[in-house]
Amino acid sequence: MRKLTNRIRRWLVRFLLKYMQNRFNYYEINFENKNDVRSKAIVFGHNLYIRKENFGSDTGVEITLPNTTYEHLLYESQLQNNAKLIRVVGENHKVIYKTLFYNQHIACGLFRQKPYYLEFYYSPFQVQDNIVDIQDEFIINGNTYIEIQLEPREKLSLIIAEKQTKYRVNERDF
């Protein structure tokens, strides 16, 4: 009986490890500009915007997440995460003419800004013309943030996929 329970335990550990290696975490962040003018939306940047009004975004820009609050995401982003993909989903095909800025403040006082012109990342093989995928290495921590301009009364979504990590667990521990 003891051998059987050990076999089941080892099989269960192998199954769970295989399942955990094939999944990844992602954040879905929805923006809505309720203003009648262009507005700037900022996501992340815990160390810079935690005490600012609307967390750095212009007044009238609403940021929502499906399962949690934006404050929770902001607090979670102060720890370093590595992202591999940012998917920008707009209401119409004009999303490809936008520019997304990846900004980074460094402790020595330097400021780095990398623009991503979405029309360069648009794939002609994409079935839907309102989706753009940016595949690059992004470091998200308290000093980095992503900035994008929203047109009046526009809705936009960012889906940020974390880089996959392999879990290594010694089976003998179980």
| 129: CATH | 2.60.120
User: Range with the lowest mean pLDDT among 26-30, 86-90, 103-107, 165-169?
Assistant: 165-169
Domain assignment of residue 94, yes or no: yes
Nearest Cα residue to 72 out of 34, 103, 29, 24: 29
CB atoms within 10 A of CB 27: 22
Domain assignment of residue 145, yes or no: yes
Domain assignment of residue 3, yes or no: no
Range(s) of the domain holding residue 43: 24-164
Whether this model's pTM surpasses 0.75: no
Domain assignment of residue 71, yes or no: yes
Give kind and range of the element (H or E) at residue 89: strand 81-90
- For the chain, the C-alpha Rg in angstroms (whole number) is 20
Domain assignment of residue 17, yes or no: no
**More confident site: 140 or 168:** 140
Average pLDDT over every residue of 50-74: 83
Which are the contacts of 29, defined by CB distance < 8 A and separation ≥ 6? 43, 63, 64, 65, 70, 73, 157, 158, 159, 160
Domain count, the chain: 1
Structure tokens at 81: 């995460």
Looking at residue 173, what is its pLDDT? 46
Q: Is the pLDDT at 14 greater than 80, yes or no?
A: no
Q: Is the pLDDT at 174 greater than 50, yes or no?
A: no
The mean of the pLDDT values for the chain is 78
